[in-house]
Amino acid sequence: MSTLTDSRKRELRRELESIVGPGAVLSDPDELMVYESDGLTLFRALADFVVFPTSAQHVSAVVKLANRENLPFVARGAGTGLSGGCLPTEGGIVVSMMRMNRVLEVDYDNQIAVVEPGLVNLHLSWKVGPRGYYYAPDPSSQQACTIGGNIANNSGGPHTLKYGVTTNHVLGLEVVMPDGEIVWLGGKTREACGYDLAGVFVGSEGTFGIATRIVVRILRKPQAVKTVLAVFDAIDQASAAVSAIIARGLVPAAMEMIDQLTIQAVEDAFSCGYPRDADAALLIELDGLAVGMDVQAERIVEACRESGAREVRTARSEAERQLLWKGRKSAFGAYGRVSPAYMVMDGVIPRTKLPYVLRRVNEIVAASGLRVGNVFHAGDGNLHPNILYDPRKPGEEARVVAAGAEIMKVCADVGGSISGEHGIGLEKADFMPLIFSVADLALMQRLKSAFNPRGLCNPGKVFPTKKSCVEVGPVAYRPHAIEEKGLAQRF
């Protein structure tokens, strides 16, 4: 929290209320606590105010006030982020986008929708589903996370293997710039006019401004879907199968790996039909035209068998398919049955390095005296090791953090990245030098200066810094409020 005096705070609260309305400002510390964390509860920071605008004009006025007062501000969606990216590390104003949650326009002819940033990801697919369309980016938190938050982190999901991540589906955005000006970046057409500022904005983790309207592509639902489960006695075989499928010229819609620890947790919790004694399973989905689907599925089956799969089966009904996906999507919830807490990592490696890196991950975690479950997007090499631990045991959390750092280093060393979809935020800011040089970071800083010259818009994120007054472990793990309500899981 910043150093505003109580009386100044009361004045500012009144002024904020005059902008967004009396029911749309929080400043009581008890209320602010709900907004002190995102999905990564390791980090906490308290804002001075949380405001709930309902228009771009509101956002603009709030941002202008923040500029006048030299107060930092940060936009926040559902708070499902996993890198501390929306925390008010230096106090100031949290701009909650949750009341800007409308679908403003759907143009089926042109397959685009205009939405507000607080719209929950899945709600867009619900809206356009009856007409045979959907919104492709499907982060596993899509029941709760917002499209604005997806923009900030350039979120992915299981089906991004074939369909790409958020940036591939965003055509334009109306943005309140860090100085309060309202500007359109991109638009409804497929070509940028000048530099691709919409492309630059997506994934900028809330440091370039606050999106208030978003033009996204919606896609026709595929004519047919086929889901295959391949079961392996050795995780290396499952990794080899991923490469074998790619080598056969196949691009599945999704290719997810689930390891033994995770399978057992899932089966204990939900009985989804994964064999408990398997070392690993691959969940592979094909979609597209009905014709030719069987030919391609046959090739997938063949590639898996040749890689040593002991069992390969195709979901025979939509119910069976849903059950298999339930196993994948509820994996994180299932960890709760086998461990009091876990921390999810997010790293990316070249697909061909999977066997080596998975071995290293297991070694690193074992050497820390901890257990790890792996459930991840194998098709695009996006790892999610989940380190299980008990926060009540002194020192365990610190060991988790240390193991996580080592895993990031392994990802970097094999030519990978330190984040595939969770973002850098606070969590990984100090890991950036693992993959970027001083010159790389300097150029990014210059780009940031072009958008956010005063640095008031979401300070303390993305770049290595020692200067934040955020509370960082060792603090006890606790579920986020939205997790307790069952609205979100960690991925």
Partner 1 sequence: MPDALLQKLRTTVGAANVLTGVELSPYVVEGRTPEAAVFPGSIEEVAAVMVLASEVGSPVAPWGGGTAASVGMPAGRAGLVVVLSRLGRLLDHEPGDLTATVEAGMTVEAFQAALGRRGQWLSLDPPDADRATVGGVLATNACGPRRHLYGTARDLLIGVTVVTADGSVVKGGGKVVKNVAGYDLPKLFIGSYGTLGVIVEATVKLRPLPEQEELVRVRFDRLKDAGAAVRAVAASDLIPNAVELLDGAAAVGAGLAAGSPPGGVLVVGFDGVREQVDWQRAELARLTGPLGGRDVRPLEAAAWSRLTPAARTAFPTPAATMALAVLPSQVAETMEQGAGIARGRGLSSAWAAHAGVGVVRGALASDPAPKDPAALAAVLAEWRELARAGGGHANLEWAPLAVKSQIAVWDDPGAAGRIMERIKAQLDPRNILNPGRFVAGI
* Contact by Cβ (8 Å): 252, 285: yes
User: What values do phi and psi take at 319, rounded to 5?
Assistant: -65, -40
Q: How far is the CB of 236 from partner 1 (least distance, A)?
A: 14
Q: How far is the CB of 375 from partner 1 (least distance, A)?
A: 16
Write out the H or E segment, with its range, that includes residue 105: strand 103-107
DSSP 3-state of 128 = helix
Q: Which of 148/391 has CB closer to partner 1?
A: 148
CB of 120 to partner 1, least distance (A): 21
Task: Name the percent of the chain in helix, strand, coil, to the closest 5.
Answer: 40, 20, 40
In terms of CB distance, is 72 or 157 closer to partner 1?
Answer: 157
Which CB atom, from 70 or from 189, has the smaller least distance to partner 1? 189
Report the residue number, 18 or 57, with the smaller CB distance to partner 1: 57
DSSP class of residue 248 equals T
CB 213 → partner 1: shortest distance, Å? 13
Q: Least separation, in Å, of the C-beta of 115 and partner 1?
A: 17
Q: Which residues in 180-211 are b (16+ Cβ under 10 Å) and which e?
A: bebeebbeeeeebeeeebbbbbbbbbbbbbbb
Q: Kindly report the number of other CB atoms within 10 A of residue 445's CB atom.
A: 12
Please, what is the minimum distance in Å from the beta carbon of residue 112 to partner 1? 8
Instruction: Compare residues 224 and 470 and give the one whose CB is closer to partner 1.
Output: 224
Q: How far is the CB of 267 from partner 1 (least distance, A)?
A: 28
Q: Contact 192/198 with Cβ under 8 angstroms? A: yes
Burial (CB count within 10 angstroms: exposed 0-12, middle 13-18, buried 19+), residue 219:
middle
Asked whether 174 and 392 are in contact (CB, 8 A), the reply is no
Closer residue to partner 1 in complex, CB, 199/336: 199
